[in-house]
Structure 1
């Protein structure tokens, strides 16, 4: 399949106009006329992912987070980003990213699916689409009330995580949930507007966590990677169903940090 034909399919799944103004999704490296037979899927185009894509003979790297957010003035091998870009170019590997456009089109729904949230509405950046309202994150209700500790255990299991961090009384009962995969810091006003009792997101720091509790919002910090790693298996399955002629290789999808 030509790269441009694959890109059309990817952009139908997650239209680029859904992306936030500061974002940089799309074809970031490569030639749209290049034939694509094998795609490497990862959350990030880090050095390990690029090296494995080269070793596996992939023609395209597909990630959630873009490697490039702002202009660069040089591409040099001694620079870690330049080195990755040179590896892609020298090995004729196209690089495509689907970020906040994917968050709006897909991520909010598949994350909420894992917790079985009902009566969903977008948390922020609402758009009217052919399939209904879409946005960053989602708010919804659980089938039954759970304590914060029970919900945290559910999140840990649903996203296959070794641990999550919680702010609030573990015995607080909750049913209305807001969640934002990735980094949702600063969205507490949206959570309050939604009437949610708990906010599930990543990248929560000490002060933001305790401030949310003061506002009567419990917080479950499942990590940036912890909530967004679902991009990899989702896109693997999507490519198998929509582009069966393309082989896929997936990143090992391990957390970038460990806790002792």
Structure 2
């Protein structure tokens, strides 16, 4: 399959116009005319992912987070990003990213469904689409009321995580949940407007966590990778169903850090 044919399918799944203005999804390295027989799927195009894609003979790397967000003034092997770009170019590997457009089109519902949220609505950046309202994050109701402590365990198991961090009293009763996979810092206003009693997201620092509690919002920090790693298995299955002629390889999808 030509790369442009695959890109057309990917952009139907996550239209580029759904991306936020600061974002940089799409074909970032390579040629739309290049034939694609094997795709490497990862959350990030880090050095290990690029090296493995080369070793596996992949023609394209597909990630959630773009490697490039701003202009690159030089591509040099001494620079860690430049090295990855050179590896892709020298090995004729296309690189395609699906970020906030995927968050809007797919990730919000995908994450909310892991918690079986009912009466879902977008948390922010709402837009009307053929399939209904879409946006960044979701707000919905749990199937039954839980304490914050029990909900934290539920989230940990639903996303297959070793641990989560919580702000708020463990026995707080929770029914309405707001969540934003990735980094949701600064969205507490959206959570309050949506009536969320708890905010499930990643990259929560000390001050933001305690400030949210002061505003009446409990917080479960499940990590940036912790909530978004679901991109990899979803896209692997999507590729198998929509492009069965293309072989897929996925990385280990391991957290970039460990807790001692």
TM-score with structure 2 setting the length: 1.00
Residue number in structure 1 paired with 2:59: 59
TM-score with structure 1 setting the length: 1.00
Q: Distance in 2 between matches of 1:109 and 1:212?
A: 24
Residue number in structure 1 paired with 2:77: 77
After superposition, where does 1:3-152 map in structure 2 within 5 Å? 3-152=3-152
**Structure 2 counterpart SS, 1:216:** coil
Deviation, 1:44, is 0.1
Q: Distance in 1 between matches of 2:183 and 2:224?
A: 6
Query: Does residue 216 in structure 1 map to residue 216 in structure 2?
Result: yes
Residue number in structure 2 paired with 1:187: 187
Residue number in structure 1 paired with 2:157: 157
Q: Distance in 1 between matches of 2:220 and 2:208?
A: 12
Q: Report Cα offsets for 1:85-126 as digits up to 9, x if no partner.
A: 000000000000000000000000000010000000000000
Q: Report Cα offsets for 1:147-195 as digits up to 9, x if no partner.
A: 0000000000000000000000000010000000000000000000001
Deviation, 1:133, is 0.0
**Structure 1 counterpart SS, 2:227:** helix
Query: Does residue 257 in structure 1 map to residue 260 in structure 2?
Result: no
Deviation, 1:141, is 0.0
Q: Report Cα offsets for 1:122-147 as digits up to 9, x if no partner.
A: 00000000000000000000010000
Q: Distance in 1 between matches of 2:205 and 2:24?
A: 26
**Structure 1 counterpart SS, 2:108:** helix
Equivalences, count: 260
Deviation, 1:252, is 0.5
Q: Distance in 2 between matches of 1:31 and 1:195?
A: 46
Deviating above 4 A after TM superposition, structure 1's stretches of 4 or more consecutive aligned residues are none
Q: Distance in 1 between matches of 2:41 and 2:114?
A: 21
Q: Distance in 2 between matches of 1:100 and 1:196?
A: 22
> For structure 2, which runs of at least 5 residues remain unmatched after alignment?
none
Q: Report Cα offsets for 1:53-104 as digits up to 9, x if no partner.
A: 0000000000000000000100000000000000000000000000000000
Q: Distance in 2 between matches of 1:99 and 1:248?
A: 19
Q: Distance in 2 between matches of 1:143 and 1:114?
A: 12
Deviation, 1:207, is 0.1
Q: Distance in 1 between matches of 2:196 and 2:94?
A: 42
